[in-house]
Amino acid sequence: MPTKTLQIPTTDGQVDAFAAFPDRGERHPGVLLYTDAFGVRPELEEKARELAEHGYYVLVPNLYYRHGPAPVIELPEHIGEQIRPEVIGRLMPLVEAHTTERVLRDADAYLRFLTAQPEVSAGPVGVIGYCIGAALAMRTATAHPDQVAAVAGFHPGFLVTDAPDSPHRRVPELTAQVHLGLAENDMTPETISELNQALDAAGVGYTVEIYPGTIHGFTMSDTDAFNPSALQRHWDRLLPLLDRALTNS
Torsion of CA 21, 32, 7, 15, to 10 degrees: -150
Quick check: is 131 catalytic? Answer: yes
Instruction: Say which of 36, 106, 186, 222 is annotated catalytic.
Output: 186
CA dihedral in degrees (150, 180, 206, 140; nearest 10)? -40
Active site residue 234: no
- Look up 186 and say whether it is catalytic: yes
Q: Is 95 exposed, middle or buried (0-12, 13-18, 19+ CB in 10 A)?
A: middle
Q: Which of 131, 168, 222, 234 is catalytic?
A: 131
Report the sign of the C-alpha dihedral through residues 179, 201, 183, 156, in that order. Answer: positive
Select from 117, 131, 122 the least CA-distant residue to 33: 131
Catalytic residue among 28, 144, 216, 234: 216
- Return the active site residues: 131, 186, 216
